[in-house]
Amino acid sequence: MGFFLFMLLILVLHAEAWPDLGQSKQSAQKCVRCCSPTGPPAAVPAPSSRMSNYPSWVMPRLQPTIDITILKGEKGESGEKGQSGVSGKEGIPGQRGYRGRKGQKGQIGLPGNSCKHVYEAFSVGRKKVLHSNDYFQDVTFDTEFVNLYKHFNMFTGRFSCYVAGVYFFNLNVHTWNFKETYLHLMRNDQEAAILYTQPSDRSIMQSQSLMLDLEEGDEVWVRMFKRERENAIYSEESDIYITFNGHLIKPADD
């Protein structure tokens, strides 16, 4: 009997410590109608004082993410090139840049042609007088001043061209009193220039010069031409009055 009273006391104390426990259980078991087909909705019971102590829980907002790469299509074909635009105005010149470094030494070049100089020259004279006997008469020379490579033939009185190019020639004679002086400076068989002096009571020195563009194998010489008058040139054994000179100015291959 004492044990039964002790257990009843414990149940009473337990009910006083949690007075809302019975109400919550009853509230949870009671069905509340929130709306009525003929009247306004019924009032929703207020939350218990125990539930009001906890903060309200907010549902998170969902934001969908779309992967753009799966929506990208294939690369299209290139379009036609458009027209060039109008050129802009010329800008202001910039400042001068820094001086660059010295470059490396280049490779040795190919050997060049050797600087070979070609010379051609002659200078001859005549000590004996000469009278024209035939219609045409070659003038020969008996004194050799300069004759490089012996290209001037002293026996025939002709210079033979072995190096093609431009040459300078000069002829000097002394006329004879009261006699005509008529000479041709010849290139092969053609007259290139004439040296002429009319008869006079005084003898004079007469000269003729010219340049000729010769080819290999050409010949240059002096010829006396006789007309109605006597033709002659003067000289002496002790002095030389008749000279013939020539030299190469520029080779054709230079």
Mean pLDDT of all residues in 149-161: 96
Residue 227 has pLDDT above 80, yes or no: no
By DSSP bridging, strand 121-126 and strand 130-131 are: unpaired
Q: Cβ contacts of residue 232 below 8 Å, gap of 6+?
A: 129, 130, 131, 132, 176, 179, 180, 181
Mean pLDDT of all residues in 48-68: 60
Mean pLDDT of all residues in 23-34: 50
User: Which two three-digit tokens encode residue 51?
Assistant: 């539930």
Mean pLDDT of all residues in 57-66: 67
More confident residue, 62 or 153: 153
For residue range 95-135, list pLDDT tens digits in order: 888 888 888 888 888 876 666 788 999 999 999 999 887 78
The band of 1, judged by pLDDT with boundaries at 50, 70 and 90, is low
For residue range 172-197, list pLDDT tens digits in order: 999 988 889 999 999 999 999 999 99
For residue range 196-212, list pLDDT tens digits in order: 998 888 889 999 999 99
Percentage of the chain exceeding pLDDT 70: 71
Task: Share the mean pLDDT of the chain.
Answer: 81
What are the residues facing 250 on neighbouring strands?
166
Mean pLDDT of all residues in 225-245: 88
Residue 169 has pLDDT above 50, yes or no: yes
Residue 38 has pLDDT above 60, yes or no: no
Percentage of the chain exceeding pLDDT 90: 41
Sign of the torsion angle spanned by Cα atoms 34, 35, 41, 42: negative
What are the residues facing 194 on neighbouring strands?
184
Mean pLDDT of all residues in 75-82: 82
* Residue 170: exposure state from Cβ atoms within 10 A (0-12, 13-18, ≥19): middle
Assign domain 123-251 one CATH number from 3.40.50.720, 3.20.20.370, 2.40.30.10, 2.60.120.40. 2.60.120.40
Mean pLDDT of all residues in 77-91: 83
